[in-house]
Structure 1
Amino acid sequence: MRAMWMVALFAGVASPAMAKVDYAIDLTKPEHHSGKVTITFPAAAGDTLDVKMPAWRTGRYSILNLANGVSGFTATDASGRKLGWQKVDKSTWRIRRASGQPVTVTYDVFGNELGLRSRHIDDSHAYLDASGVFMYADRHRQEPVSVALSMPGSWRAFSGMEPNGRGRFTAPNWDVLVDSPIEAGPHQLRTFDADGRRYELVIWGKGNHDGDRMVADLKKMVPQSQTIWKGYPFRRYLFIVHATDGVGGATEHKNSTVIQLPRYRFAPRDRYMGFLGTASHEFIHTWNVKAYRAGAMVPYDYEKENYTDLLWVHEGSTEYFTPHLLLRSGLMKPDEYFGELADAIDANKNRPGRLVKSVAEASFDEWMSPSGNRANNAWVNIYSEGAIASWALDIALLQDTGGRVSYRDVHQRLYERFGNGARGFTSADMRAILAELTGHSWDAWWAKYVDAPSDVDFAALLAPVGLTLDMGGAPTVAKAGWSADASGGAMKLTAVTRDGPAWNAGLETDDILVAIDGKRVDEGRFATILGDYKPGDTVTVSFFRRDELQERKLVLGGRPAKSPSVRLADNPTAQQKALFQRWLLVPYPAK
């Protein structure tokens, strides 16, 4: 492409449309987690050029300050002469250059952040998310890009971008580059076709994974996307799998995903189902958040937070649909799905924050979401609670329309209207779609379940589809409402559930437990000591706070001996069975 551009210049018909940004990274000495990046920006008017490293990456809604991996920055002109520059903020370099001249920047990037899925370079592979590796310039953001990797001889490189030779790729602009991570190394590679699309599975790291089984199961799963949407936003899709030393997580991209699991968590079946669930979740994101997304994120602003009240739709609804693809492909059994529902219900009931914060508010505040005790007591998780809100909306739609409309139809309509990426949607757009599909307003429902904290009646969600909820019976097991960690040699409280027994007794996180009713508490005893008591008993808790020994009287609460369960109704009606099938698109199970 560069040769064509030079010919155009020589002919006196230079066209900005032919200009492109050339990216290169040298990975030939990867053992110290380092690569050398070279970027050539084309000629443009102006005596300065601002180049930037993103402050965050898509799929993780928190500021990561990705420029912290950059060192040795230099800038030169077309003749190789050094250009002056200065930092104007933490992520921006302002280069002084002659107007109308190209600029080449070089820098070293340190890549040892595997868990962040931003950049990881070592002697076995390189994972490059452009947000943590390749700078951009606003004025050149929409111009074509090329990427070239210099790699050890045994390595191959894979990406959702168009391949253009060994270790070379092209993309129509930087936004496609930043949404198309590159995986390079001596990997396992498998390919398969499904529903007219080509899929690639690239695995890095040794472990108990079975690539052939993974391909067979992914081939069953991916066509089930068409039970929600009609059509695909890609022709080729790449699954990148990292078998790691303990790091876990996953990130969705435009036509690819990276999935990280500890290397021995691909078997047995219950662990392997975790992989399939993650693959389903990330694949669904190809539509929900990548093809269409909230207007506040169109286009992505990589310099600051992109606030929206709809992250519960992008993450929670994706989580809600995740097991549905596995059910419809036969990879998950109905009983396993019922078990997931029961776990979600149990977690919800033990999360006091559900009565404090709405899913809309939590979406907006996700950029500063806390962890640990406060997350449980005063916050809601946009994944789990967003999935419950999605479930409630799905059942409400099915009941309202006699099974004619489901939440799937809402997402298909979002894809139809906003899937070209030209603009994003709002909460008002979603409510308008609900009204169009059903013939009446859903503002009251939205106000109750989305814009306000809600206490969901799960039995009422299950009954219309022929399921019942057993919460485990009467409370018979003593409960204090706390958790502790002994890694520092002492039993330090790490969580105290709001309005629970320990909370009401005045205990708080970081208190160090030493005794209950005068009996010493250590790691082993902590796990069993409440077995000596029953709900309603009063115990004396001795603990250190600010290095002072204190005591509190604690009245124990209770919990059922059994966990909640979801099961088939005893005598389901034909109507319940029919609505169950419209809900999950699988037959109502036989007892």
Structure 2
Amino acid sequence: MIQYHVSFANPLTFYLQVQMQLAVPANEVAPLELQLPAWRPGRYEIQNFGQKIQRVEAFDAATSEPLPLRKLTKDRWQVADAAGRTVRVQYNFYAHQMDAGGSWLDETQLYLNGIQCFMYAEGRRTEECQLMLTLPEGWQIACGMKQVGPNVLAAASFDVLVDSPLIASPTLQHAEYEAGGLPFHVWVQGNEAKPDWDVIVRDFKAFSEEQLRLFGSFPATDYHFLNEILPYKHYHGVEHLNSTVITLGPAEQLMTEELYKEFLGVSCHELFHVWNIKSIRPAEMMPYDYTRENYFRTCFVAEGITTYYGEYLLARANVRTARQYFDELNTVLRKHYDDHGRNNLSVADASMDLWLDGYRPGIPDRKVSVYHKGALVALLLDLHIRRLHNHQRSLDDVMRRLWQEFGQTGIGYTEEDYQHIVTEVVGEDMRWYFEQHIYGTAELETPLDEALRFVGCCLMLQLNGSAAEGRFGFRTVQKNDRTEVTDIYPNSPASRGLTVDDQIVAVNGRRASGNLQSLLSSNQARYELTVFRQDRLTTVVLEPTTERLFWPRITVAKLPEATAAQQASFSQWLNQAF
């Protein structure tokens, strides 16, 4: 067994003291090498957690004799003369990152994601681990790992250890419910939050049961929602083996419509991940390689399908209304159509590029979102299957097959496996779907509109009301009294004269200061814009289009003339009356 110990002396410094202790066999020839992960599952980018480690030392645990320690890479160390000894490695870890993938220490709590701070011994990741926490009197622990003693947690392996975050605090709030005969725990950290537990338990139980009905069984024996409800605005969630961490705020607004819908959406999304990515895992991640990029092309399955189901199942479980579901779906549509990278990069290639810049805006119009386009192609596939089989088959059948053939067996799936299952469930050649919408950049509007009509809905196009956006094709942000260009629509009038970061000073001789829209709405044939570009004053002439062609608003709406058959189909899809 490999033992870990975490303590802290002064929480105001944010430093944790971490110890790792393991016995090295006397006949061990190779030197002991210790590796700190460079990334974490759930966020597919190199994060270099070694930046948070201070003062690494190694000792013989029996004698406290220092052992030679050499740093091999940015996150790998070698301990010499370790054979036949019980080795203790100790270091400090800086816990000052409050998001769902981070770690945090202060006088009120310890929130720890072990993936950031625990090393593993090369070749020994599958050994049992034990984590002991030194905590103040009265602190409680919320974690997916089992407590085997006071402040002692047990994990079957290093992978389980670092995929089981914890919150320790004297102010944890807790509720429990049962779904499918299994216990589900909802933990809330933060005194500012005032959860309405009756409402939360009712809604969480409903969407949990809906997911269990979909898959038929659960990958774990229990589940823990670990919620950091913060006093400031925040939104983030990360999936784990039998838990999730969600950071959300502001706390006093938790039960308001605006924040509670986010709470429900991210919670339903993260629970779906227990099947889809934690159990139904790409072959490229079997097992994880924590030292480098784990490239995979199927994040449109892992995140795209999960994004679709995360909101859709809330409506299907009658936790949210159809109108509320459409509001969230319309947000996905807006984000997808706001980004012209959809014309330049396929969603499969965008899966690979998560490791490049997938979580940052990046250069203009380069990439597409695996979350947003992934959700839309999942919707398209679900409705296509339902139309062909009159709701007797659906995307549910694809996910069940993935769960049964790969999740339950512990075998990683490939792109070809996913395509094969989709084709078998659909019962026809699906090359058009994969070539055009997964590996290609074909427009989605026409096939999605056709699919939606099967359930009595359609895509609606509304012209952009903004003169700058709709007629000229540029967006701005107001920074105090400065009007700065932030985005330009490809092949628009603005693209022939303006550039990102231009500061618009005047329009036709009139100063631009919060009044840009009115200055551009005087129905003139040409407009003279005075701009600062790289601190040089220049003049640009723009000629608007006659119509508001750019950044139209695309939304899903019910057909006012929907037939009785379409209305019945809507009810079968969404489990709600039309």
What is the TM-score when the length of structure 1 is the normalising length? 0.90
Q: Give the Cα separation in 2 of the matches to 1:501 and 1:466.
A: 37
1:144-172: per-residue Cα shift (whole Å, max 9, x none)?
A: 00001001113111210111133211010
1:442-470: per-residue Cα shift (whole Å, max 9, x none)?
A: 23321111000121123212111111333
CA separation of 1:297 and 1:562: change in aligned 2, threshold 3 A: closer
Q: Give the Cα separation in 2 of the matches to 1:309 and 1:111.
A: 32
Could you tell me which amino acid in structure 2 is paired with residue 151 of structure 1? Answer: L
**Which deviates more, 112-121 or 369-378?**
369-378
Q: Give the Cα separation in 1 of the matches to 2:552 and 2:45.
A: 38
Could you tell me which amino acid in structure 2 is paired with residue 96 of structure 1? Answer: A
1:188-231: per-residue Cα shift (whole Å, max 9, x none)?
A: 12222222111112111233542413223212221110242110
Q: Give the Cα separation in 2 of the matches to 1:209 and 1:537.
A: 57
Alpha carbons 2:239, 2:274 under 8 Å: kept: yes
Q: How does 1:413-424 map onto structure 2 within 5 Å? A: 413-420=401-408, 422-424=410-412
Could you tell me which amino acid in structure 2 is paired with residue 302 of structure 1? Answer: Y
Q: How does 1:392-541 map onto structure 2 within 5 Å? A: 392-420=380-408, 422-456=410-444, 457=446, 458-472=448-462, 477=467, 479=469, 480-487=472-479, 490-505=482-497, 507-522=498-513, 524-526=514-516, 528-529=517-518, 532-533=521-522, 537-541=525-529
Q: Give the Cα separation in 2 of the matches to 1:364 and 1:484.
A: 31
Partner of 1:13: none
CA separation of 1:54 and 1:560: change in aligned 2, threshold 3 A: closer
* Offset of residue 561 of structure 1: 12
Alpha carbons 1:475, 1:559 under 8 Å: kept: no
Partner of 1:12: none
Partner of 1:192: 177
Partner of 2:378: 390
Partner of 1:261: 248
Q: Size of the alignment, in residue pairs?
A: 565
CA separation of 1:403 and 1:83: change in aligned 2, threshold 3 A: same
* Offset of residue 436 of structure 1: 2.3
Alpha carbons 2:24, 2:85 under 8 Å: kept: yes
Alpha carbons 1:475, 1:560 under 8 Å: kept: no
Q: Give the Cα separation in 2 of the matches to 1:551 and 1:208.
A: 53
* Offset of residue 116 of structure 1: 6.0
CA separation of 1:474 and 1:222: change in aligned 2, threshold 3 A: closer
* Offset of residue 555 of structure 1: 2.8
- Are positions 1:149 and 2:140 aligned together? no
**Which deviates more, 202-211 or 367-376?**
367-376
Partner of 2:57: 74
Match of 2:91 among 104, 107, 111: 107
CA separation of 1:238 and 1:100: change in aligned 2, threshold 3 A: same
Could you tell me which amino acid in structure 1 is paired with residue 293 of structure 2? Answer: E
Could you tell me which amino acid in structure 2 is paired with residue 494 of structure 1? Answer: T
SS in 1 for 2:225: strand
Q: Give the Cα separation in 1 of the matches to 2:234 and 2:576.
A: 38
* Offset of residue 351 of structure 1: 2.3
Could you tell me which amino acid in structure 2 is paired with residue 129 of structure 1? Answer: N
Q: How does 1:142-291 map onto structure 2 within 5 Å? A: 142-186=126-170, 187-212=172-197, 213-244=199-230, 245-263=232-250, 264-291=252-279
Percent of paired sites with the same residue:
28
Could you tell me which amino acid in structure 1 is paired with residue 537 of structure 2? Answer: L
* Offset of residue 375 of structure 1: 5.7
SS in 2 for 1:148: strand
Q: Give the Cα separation in 2 of the matches to 1:269 and 1:511.
A: 38
Q: RMSD over aligned Cα, in angstroms?
A: 2.3
Could you tell me which amino acid in structure 1 is paired with residue 287 of structure 2? Answer: P
Q: How does 1:235-384 map onto structure 2 within 5 Å? A: 235-244=221-230, 245-263=232-250, 264-369=252-357, 374=362, 377-384=365-372
CA separation of 1:561 and 1:127: change in aligned 2, threshold 3 A: closer
* Offset of residue 374 of structure 1: 4.6
Partner of 1:140: 124
CA separation of 1:485 and 1:435: change in aligned 2, threshold 3 A: closer
Q: Give the Cα separation in 1 of the matches to 2:505 and 2:537.
A: 9
CA separation of 1:338 and 1:569: change in aligned 2, threshold 3 A: same
* Offset of residue 236 of structure 1: 1.1
Structure 1: tracts of 5 or more residues without a match: 1-19
* Offset of residue 36 of structure 1: 0.3
Q: How does 1:122-137 map onto structure 2 within 5 Å? A: 122-137=106-121
Q: Give the Cα separation in 1 of the matches to 2:409 and 2:121.
A: 21
CA separation of 1:160 and 1:211: change in aligned 2, threshold 3 A: farther
Could you tell me which amino acid in structure 2 is paired with residue 499 of structure 1? Answer: N
Match of 1:583 among 570, 573, 577: 573
* Offset of residue 33 of structure 1: 0.7
CA separation of 1:517 and 1:428: change in aligned 2, threshold 3 A: same
Partner of 2:562: 572
SS in 2 for 1:199: strand
CA separation of 1:488 and 1:144: change in aligned 2, threshold 3 A: farther
Alpha carbons 1:190, 1:200 under 8 Å: kept: yes
Q: Give the Cα separation in 1 of the matches to 2:336 and 2:519.
A: 24
CA separation of 1:217 and 1:142: change in aligned 2, threshold 3 A: same
CA separation of 1:439 and 1:171: change in aligned 2, threshold 3 A: same
Partner of 1:16: none
1:479-499: per-residue Cα shift (whole Å, max 9, x none)?
A: 243333444763332322333
Structure 2: tracts of 5 or more residues without a match: none
CA separation of 1:472 and 1:25: change in aligned 2, threshold 3 A: same
Alpha carbons 1:225, 1:325 under 8 Å: kept: yes
**Which deviates more, 51-60 or 432-441?**
432-441
Partner of 1:30: 11
CA separation of 1:292 and 1:372: change in aligned 2, threshold 3 A: closer
Alpha carbons 1:284, 1:322 under 8 Å: kept: yes
* Offset of residue 563 of structure 1: 5.0
Alpha carbons 2:110, 2:168 under 8 Å: kept: yes
* Offset of residue 267 of structure 1: 3.7
Alpha carbons 1:373, 1:496 under 8 Å: kept: no
What is the TM-score when the length of structure 2 is the normalising length? 0.92
Match of 1:56 among 39, 52, 60: 39
Q: Give the Cα separation in 2 of the matches to 1:267 and 1:35.
A: 34
Partner of 1:39: 20
SS in 1 for 2:330: helix
